[in-house]
Amino acid sequence: MKVIYGGGDEGHDPSFFLVRGQVQSSTEQPERARILLEAAKRAGLTQEEPAGADTNAIAAIHTPEYLDFLSGAYEAWQALPGAGPEIIPNIHPARAPASYPRAIVGRSGYHQADTACPIGPKTYEAAIVSAGRALHGAERLLDGEDWVYALCRPPGHHAYADMAGGFCFLNNCAVAAQSLLSDGGGVAILDVDVHAGNGTQGIFYRRSDVLTLSIHADPLDYYPFFWGHAAERGTADGQGYNLNLPLPVGSGDDAFLAALETACRRIALFAPDYLIVALGLDAHEADPLQGMTVTTQGFAAIARRIAQLRLPSLLIQEGGYLAPALGDNLEAFLTGFQEGRSP
Ligand SMILES: [Zn+2]
């Protein structure tokens, strides 16, 4: 079993995080990667460094305007008089058809869903490196590996084809899924992060070749609020190929495992060639974002159940923030996955 990681994300160190009207330090810090890498090794995985990211694979998911924005935004922002150290939007094209602006402040609002995805000098570079790890993991599955863990940071599941949000810039799961489709079969993406995988849902909402499923804290009360509700089932060819399983804020192991059973039945019916797990660990009871109360043992049980689907699986890191249990939670998940795979 392999963990795909080779550094290169440390320069993305966001500082701005707006919580209930107060500016706090971001919980999506470089130290997460070091903790997660150590935990993966404790679980018995061996590290493999990824090759450079294939930008064509990223462009297969994300729009040209958005990639152009991400790659040049920091320089354009810094050229503004009195610019702050990070790009944070202060205006959005809300709830109406909108035209594409020219000014960097307008483009920021167009492409950044919220204030939780500040862009610093090394953000684009880190996002590309992170997507490269997911792509490398997909390559390993195409080569015939049974399962692989891609330690992606920054995370990806809130990123749409043309919009960042919630610490995410490029949708690592979507980029990997598109690459796995080259084999000709279907791909399922199961998102167990405490937040709805809204970007992934949005990218595949009109498609039936990628089944998207997400178990998360109910967006009636929790980020990302506007997406991730049970009634969102997909549209056009994608009708019925998106399944949201929201749970009340504060839900624990039993509720999560019951929802997972529903998700696993849907995946079995779809019978994909590959499974991607959007592996957020922020549903944990001690996570600073406080959305659910899943335990460390609960993550092991979740992993065992997913492993029993017996699908070639790519685990892609999403959320899970600095708390003493972060490493233990990943170790429990990866160990549980190995147990679930053993005969
Ligand atoms: Zn999350």
Q: Give ∠ CA 167-173-178 in degrees, rounded to 5.
A: 140
How far away, in angstroms, is 191 Cα from ligand 1 center? 10
- Residues 35, 326 contacting (CB under 8 angstroms): yes
Tokens 């499974």 -> residue: 275
Query: Which residue did the predictor score with more confidence, 93 or 187?
Result: 187
Q: What is the mean pLDDT of residues 68-83?
A: 97
Residue 186 contacts residue 179 (beta carbons within 8 Å): no
Task: Output the pLDDT for position 57.
Answer: 97
User: What percentage of the chain carries pLDDT values higher than 70?
Assistant: 100
Closest CA to 273 of 180, 343, 342, 206: 180
282 Cα to the center of ligand 1, angstroms: 6
Catalytic (active site) residue 92: no
Q: To the nearest whole number, what is the mean pLDDT of the chain? A: 97
pLDDT for position 47: 98
Q: Which residues does residue 246 pair with via DSSP β-bridges, in sequence order?
A: 216
Cα–chain center distance at 32: 14
CA of 30 to the centre of ligand 1 (A): 16
Instruction: Find tokens 């959005």 and name the residue.
Output: 92
Separation of alpha carbons 207 and 155, rounded Å:
23
Q: Give the Å distances, CA to CA, from 295 to 8, 263, 264, 309.
A: 31, 20, 20, 22
Q: For residue 318, how far is its CA from the centre of ligand 1 (angstroms)? A: 7
Q: What is the CA radius of gyration of the chain?
A: 19
- Report which residue type is found at 148: V
Residues paired with residue 214 on neighbouring β-strands, in sequence order: 191, 244
More confident residue, 96 or 262: 262
What is the per-residue pLDDT for 96?
Answer: 79
Helix (H) / strand (E) element for 216: namely strand 210-217
Token output for 161: 């084809």
Ligand 1 mean position, distance from CA 320 (Å) = 7
pLDDT digits (tens, 9 = 90+) for 76-113: 999 999 999 999 999 999 887 899 999 999 999 999 99
Which amino acid is residue 38, in one-letter code? E
Phi, psi of 136, deg, nearest 5: -65, -40
Q: Write out pLDDT tens, residues 131-168.
A: 999 999 999 999 999 999 999 999 999 999 999 999 99
Task: Take residue 85 and report the two structure tokens written for it.
Answer: 């150290």
Query: What are the residues facing 164 on neighbouring strands?
Result: 112
Q: Helix H segments across 143-277?
A: 172-180, 198-203, 253-270
Amino acid at 153: R
pTM, entire model: 0.98
pLDDT at 183 over 90: no
* Rounded-to-integer distance, Cα 116 and Cα 166, Å: 5
**Centroid of ligand 1 to alpha carbon of 52 (angstroms):** 26
Q: What angle do CA 144, 149, 152 make, to 5 degrees?
A: 130
Could you give the CA distance from residue 229 to residue 60 in angstroms, rounded to a whole number? Answer: 27
Of 15-24, 161-170, 203-212, 216-225, give the lowest mean pLDDT range: 15-24
Ligand 1 center to residue 279 CA distance, Å? 9
Rounded distance from Cα 51 to ligand 1 centre (Å):
27
Residue 10 burial (C-beta neighbours within 10 Å; 0-12, 13-18, 19+) = middle
The pLDDT assigned to 97 comes to: 84
Percent of the chain with pLDDT over 90: 95
H-assigned helices in the chain = 31-42, 55-59, 64-78, 104-111, 123-142, 172-180, 198-203, 253-270, 296-307, 326-341
* Structure confidence at residue 184 as a pLDDT band (50, 70, 90): confident
Task: Single out the catalytic residue among 12, 158, 216, 284.
Answer: 158
